[in-house]
Amino acid sequence: MTLTRRDFAKLGALGLAAQFAPQLHAQANKKKIGYAIIGLGRIAGHFMPGIRNTTNSQVTALVSGHRDKAERLADQYGVPHSSIYSYDDFDRIAENKAVDAVYVALPNSMHAEYTIRAAKAGKHVLCEKPMAASVADAEAMIAACKAANVKLMIAYRCHYEPTNLKAVQLIRQGALGQVQAIESQFGFNIAPGEWRLNRKLAGGGPLYDVGIYSLNACRYLTGEEPAHIAAFASVIDHDGRFNEVEENVSWTMKFPSGIVASCNTTYGAPMEGFFRVHGSKGTLEAAPAFNYDGLRLIADFAGTHIDKPNPAKDPYQFTAQAEHFSHCIQNGLAPKTPGEEGLRDMRYIAQIYHSAGIDI
């Protein structure tokens, strides 16, 4: 698969999908998959416009604790007010035949409860990352969806994004030779009062929120699972923000092939999300790698230079993952990033915290 600048432009203009991966081709003769959006915060504000750009998905219900906000969005997306639910009466969604799936866009600690309730209501589940606040919750989510015979996908949007996929393709093709080392990072200076600073809601600090991008990227770039993990964590700014969660985490991973990875995440400073891969024949870098748009791939190997900005604009990544999940539902296929993928990251996060001396 070779993506030119024109290909990237097409992907952005067409909402991605059909031009990029065969499994994303829409089935025009099939009913669109209806989604209930659970939680109407910032991430839902990206996902809902993304759904609008799909060929096989639509918003058909909203779940919120703020009725006035839900009604405004319902009018914007053509959702009947009778399909607005509160968290207390969410289970009534089982009766709504216009809802095939839910999108869980809640704080991390609430993912398990609403995934399990949705599964019991007979609805497929697309859940934001991190999958949950604990390994036990992630395992319970998988078990509930299997028991209800519904699909569970974790919203790892980078798995459906051309810049990241091109990087994976070049590595798999051997363009860089034998990969030796990877560096990755992602962080930002968090504002006081964010729910992400509440351990009960978030589960942990920046590792759960943005560090997980680096963790997951090292896994899909190598195609391996880490065999050894070592980590450190710290709090530098004693300004009240980090009374419950860590400020910084740095960790290293060694993979079975011998590849070593070094990763950093923070809530204390601007830190561009990127990865850099070093191979025996050259290097590859995506910077930024994990943003909603503005991604750029640079590579140098065997006399070849690649510099590919991706001009596609937000919310194209959300369009791609919704298109993929709806396609899987329509055709009885397993999603590319199922619950088991999220569970693996949860287990590695637990190992990182254990190595850093943090109890979770």
Task: Tell me, letter by letter, the H, E, C secondary structure of 111-179.
Answer: HHHHHHHHHHCCCEEEECCCCCCCHHHHHHHHHHHHHHCCCEEECCHHHHCHHHHHHHHHHHCCCCCCE
Sequence-separated (6 or more) residues with CB below 8 Å from residue 323 = 15, 16, 17, 24, 26, 54, 55, 56, 57
Question: Given the structure tokens 């397993």, which residue do they identify?
Answer: 334
129 assigned to active site: yes
Query: DSSP class of residue 52?
Result: H
The strand pair at 33-38 and 101-104 is best described as parallel
**Catalytic residue selected from 213, 220, 267, 316:** 213
**Catalytic residue selected from 32, 123, 129, 151:** 129
CA distances from 137 to 67, 133, 144, 246, 266 (A): 29, 7, 10, 21, 25
Sequence-separated (6 or more) residues with CB below 8 Å from residue 100 = 33, 34, 35, 123, 124, 329
The answer to whether the CB of 315 falls within 8 A of the CB of 12 is no
Query: DSSP class of residue 334?
Result: -
Peptide bond into 288 cis (omega under 30): yes
Which residues carry out catalysis?
Answer: 129, 213
